[in-house]
Amino acid sequence: MSALVSFVHAIDRMNEKVGRAVAWLTLAMVLITFTVVVLRYVYAIGWVWLQESYVWLHGVVFMLGAGYTLLHNGHVRVDIFYRPKDPRYKAWVDLLGSLLLLTPMIVVVTAVSFGYVVESWSRFEESREAGGLPGLFLLKSVILGFCLLLGLQGLALMARSCLVLKGHPEFLPQEEEAESL
């Protein structure tokens, strides 16, 4: 059991760090968007690469932040059935949901996107827009990062659920502050 506990803690720490780091990209997105608006409407200047940069950052934030969101129970769930239930019920829902819904989705997305990403890398694909950003292959690689981080957090959620079902009180779900408001 100690290996399972260590695994859960390691994945949680990793997604916590990645999520907090990626969150800073939202500040960059806001600043870039502000700059694009000022340049366009005040100075009549527009650069495609600058406009693409905040769109790409948006994709990176959502894709790499998905594991962090799962870690903090931020994904959509039908709370009318889930929230009032006891921890064992929640553990079963999390275990079965991760096993039967999340895992197959991650496997399919990985399988479908792998060739897409490899093809992009083989050509060192760039933006199709004139004056766009180089390195589109790097952005497409974020899809695999999404699969890795969300898949690992799903495995950690399954392991956490098993630990709750085995009677480990330290793995009982902690209610987020926002839920108590």
Q: What is the DSSP letter of 1?
A: -
For the ranges 22-31, 69-78, 127-136, 137-146, which has the lowest average pLDDT? 69-78
**Average pLDDT of 175-181?**
45
Token pair of 144, please? 């695999």
For residue 25, is pLDDT > 90?
A: yes
CA distance 8 to 3: 9
Q: Which of 18, 20, 48, 17 lies closest to 32, judged by CA? A: 48
Instruction: Note the pLDDT of residue 1.
Output: 65
Kindly state the average pLDDT of the residues 70-84: 75
CA–CA dist 181, 177 (Å, integer)? 7
Average pLDDT over residues 11-29: 96
Domain range summary for the chain, segments of one domain joined by +:
2-174
Global pTM value: 0.84
H helices present in the chain, as ranges: 2-43, 48-64, 66-71, 79-82, 87-97, 103-122, 136-165, 177-180
3-state secondary structure of 145: helix
CA angle 91, 2, 177 (to 5 degrees): 45
